[in-house]
Chains A and B, each alone.
Chain A
Amino acid sequence: MELLSDAFVYLCAAVIAVPIANRLGLGSVLGYLIAGVVIGPVLGIVGSETTEVQHFAEFGVVMMLFLVGLELQPAMLWKMRKQLIGLGGLQVLGTTAVFAGVGLAFGLVWQSAVALGMILALSSTAIVLQTLNEKGWLKTEGGQSSFSVLLTQDIAVIPMLAVLPLLAVGNSGDSYGESHGAGHGGGHGDGAAHGGEALASLPGWLQAVVILAVIAAIIVAGRHLMRPVFRFIAESHLREIFTATALLLVIGIALLMDFVGLSPALGTFLAGVVLSDSDYRHELESDIEPFKGLLLGLFFLTVGAGIDFNLLFGAPVIIFGLAIGLIVTKFALLFGLGTIFKLQGADKWLFALGLAQAGEFAFVLFGFALSAGVLEPALLQILTLVVAISMLLTPALFILYEKVIAPRAVTQSNRPADEIDRKGRIVIAGMGRFGQIVGRLLITSGYDVVILDHDPQTVENLGKVGLKTFYGDATRPDLLHGAGLQDADLFIAALDDRDKQTMVVEHVAKTYPKVRILARARDRHHVYELEQAGAHHAEREVFEGAMTMGRRALIDLGVHPFRARSKAKDFWHHDRAMLDDLRENYNDGGVDKSYVDAMRAHSQTLFDIMRTDHGDEKHERTERGWNPPPKGDATL
Chain B
Amino acid sequence: MAKVLVLYAHPRPDRSEINQPLFETAKGVQGVTAVDLYAEYPDFDIRVDVEQERLRTHDIIIFQHPFYWYSAPSIMKEWQDLVLEYGFAYGLHGKALVGKSFMNVTTAGAKPEAYSADGLNHSDIRSLLAPFEKTADLCEMRFLAPFVMFGAGRALEENRLNVHRNAYDDLLKAMVADRFDLEKAAKAKQISDVLDDFILKGEAV
User: Which one of B12, B38, B39, B153 lies within 8 Å of A629 (CB-CB)?
Assistant: B153
User: Which one of B14, B68, B73 lies within 8 Å of A560 (CB-CB)?
Assistant: B14
- The answer to whether B12 and A625 touch across the interface, beta carbons within 8 angstroms, is yes
Min Cβ gap B41→A in Å is 8
For A565, give the chain B residue with the smallest CB separation. B42
Min Cβ gap B76→A in Å is 13
A613 an interface residue at 8 Å Cβ cutoff? yes
For A631, give the chain B residue with the smallest CB separation. B153
- The answer to whether A631 and B157 touch across the interface, beta carbons within 8 angstroms, is yes
User: Which one of B38, B39, B40, B154 lies within 8 Å of A631 (CB-CB)?
Assistant: B154
A560 to B9: give the CA distance in the assembly, Å. Answer: 12
Interface residues on B, range: 10 to 19
- The answer to whether A563 and B73 touch across the interface, beta carbons within 8 angstroms, is no
B167 an interface residue at 8 Å Cβ cutoff? no
Contact with A along B32-57 (1 / 0, CB 8 A): 00001011101100000000000000
A564 an interface residue at 8 Å Cβ cutoff? yes
| Residues of chain B from 47 to 105 with CB closer than 8 A to chain A in the complex | 68, 73
A105 an interface residue at 8 Å Cβ cutoff? no
Given A560-B14, A562-B11: A628 and B153 interface contact (C-beta under 8 Å): yes
Contact with A along B149-190 (1 / 0, CB 8 A): 000011001000000000000000000000000000000000
- The answer to whether A560 and B38 touch across the interface, beta carbons within 8 angstroms, is yes
B191 an interface residue at 8 Å Cβ cutoff? no
User: Using Cβ atoms and an 8 Å threshold, which residues of chain A touch B73?
Assistant: 626
A238 an interface residue at 8 Å Cβ cutoff? no
Residues of B within 8 A of A (CB): 11-15, 36, 38-40, 42-43, 68, 73, 109-110, 153-154, 157
A59 to B75: give the CA distance in the assembly, Å. Answer: 70
A276 to B40: give the CA distance in the assembly, Å. Answer: 50
- The answer to whether A626 and B42 touch across the interface, beta carbons within 8 angstroms, is no
- The answer to whether B43 and A563 touch across the interface, beta carbons within 8 angstroms, is no
User: Which one of A563, A565, A629 lies within 8 Å of B14 (CB-CB)?
Assistant: A563
Enumerate the 6 nearest inter-chain pairs by beta-carbon distance, A residue then B residue, closest first: A562-B38, A565-B42, A561-B42, A562-B42, A626-B11, A626-B12
User: Using Cβ atoms and an 8 Å threshold, which residues of chain A touch B157?
Assistant: 631
Min Cβ gap A616→B in Å is 12
Min Cβ gap B24→A in Å is 13
User: Using Cβ atoms and an 8 Å threshold, which residues of chain A touch B40?
Assistant: 561
A562 to B36: give the CA distance in the assembly, Å. Answer: 10
A75 an interface residue at 8 Å Cβ cutoff? no
Contact with B along A617-636 (1 / 0, CB 8 A): 00000000110110100001
A560 to B36: give the CA distance in the assembly, Å. Answer: 10
Contact with B along A554-598 (1 / 0, CB 8 A): 000000111111000000000000000000000000000000000
A626 to B12: give the CA distance in the assembly, Å. Answer: 7
Most central of B11, B40, B110 by chain A CB within 10 Å: B11
Interchain Cβ contacts under 8 Å between A and B, 17 examples: A560-B13, A560-B38, A560-B39, A562-B39, A563-B13, A563-B14, A564-B42, A565-B43, A625-B11, A625-B12, A626-B15, A626-B73, A628-B153, A631-B153, A631-B154, A631-B157, A636-B109
A516 to B193: give the CA distance in the assembly, Å. Answer: 63
Min Cβ gap A52→B in Å is 73
A523 to B76: give the CA distance in the assembly, Å. Answer: 39
User: Which one of B12, B38, B68, B109 lies within 8 Å of A561 (CB-CB)?
Assistant: B38
User: Using Cβ atoms and an 8 Å threshold, which residues of chain A touch B38?
Assistant: 560-562
A377 to B8: give the CA distance in the assembly, Å. Answer: 93
Min Cβ gap A551→B in Å is 9
Min Cβ gap B100→A in Å is 27
Most central of A562, A625, A631 by chain B CB within 10 Å: A562
Min Cβ gap B150→A in Å is 11
User: Using Cβ atoms and an 8 Å threshold, which residues of chain A touch B43?
Assistant: 565
Min Cβ gap A477→B in Å is 42
Instruction: A625-B11, A629-B153 are known; give 16 further A-B pairs, CB within 8 A.
Output: A560-B14, A560-B36, A560-B38, A560-B39, A561-B39, A561-B40, A563-B12, A563-B13, A564-B42, A613-B14, A625-B12, A626-B11, A626-B12, A626-B15, A628-B109, A636-B153
User: Using Cβ atoms and an 8 Å threshold, which residues of chain B touch A636?
Assistant: 109-110, 153
Min Cβ gap A573→B in Å is 16
A443 to B14: give the CA distance in the assembly, Å. Answer: 42
Min Cβ gap B65→A in Å is 12
A96 to B110: give the CA distance in the assembly, Å. Answer: 91
Min Cβ gap B38→A in Å is 4
A564 to B41: give the CA distance in the assembly, Å. Answer: 12
For B109, give the chain A residue with the smallest CB separation. A636
User: Using Cβ atoms and an 8 Å threshold, which residues of chain A touch B11?
Assistant: 562, 625-626
A564 to B42: give the CA distance in the assembly, Å. Answer: 9
- The answer to whether A629 and B13 touch across the interface, beta carbons within 8 angstroms, is no
Min Cβ gap B136→A in Å is 26
User: Using Cβ atoms and an 8 Å threshold, which residues of chain A touch B68?
Assistant: 626
Min Cβ gap B171→A in Å is 24
Contact with B along A431-472 (1 / 0, CB 8 A): 000000000000000000000000000000000000000000
A613 to B12: give the CA distance in the assembly, Å. Answer: 12
User: Which one of A563, A565, A625, A629 lies within 8 Å of B109 (CB-CB)?
Assistant: A629
Most central of B14, B42, B43, B110 by chain A CB within 10 Å: B42
A564 to B38: give the CA distance in the assembly, Å. Answer: 11
A333 to B39: give the CA distance in the assembly, Å. Answer: 72
Min Cβ gap B185→A in Å is 28
For B156, give the chain A residue with the smallest CB separation. A631
A628 to B110: give the CA distance in the assembly, Å. Answer: 12
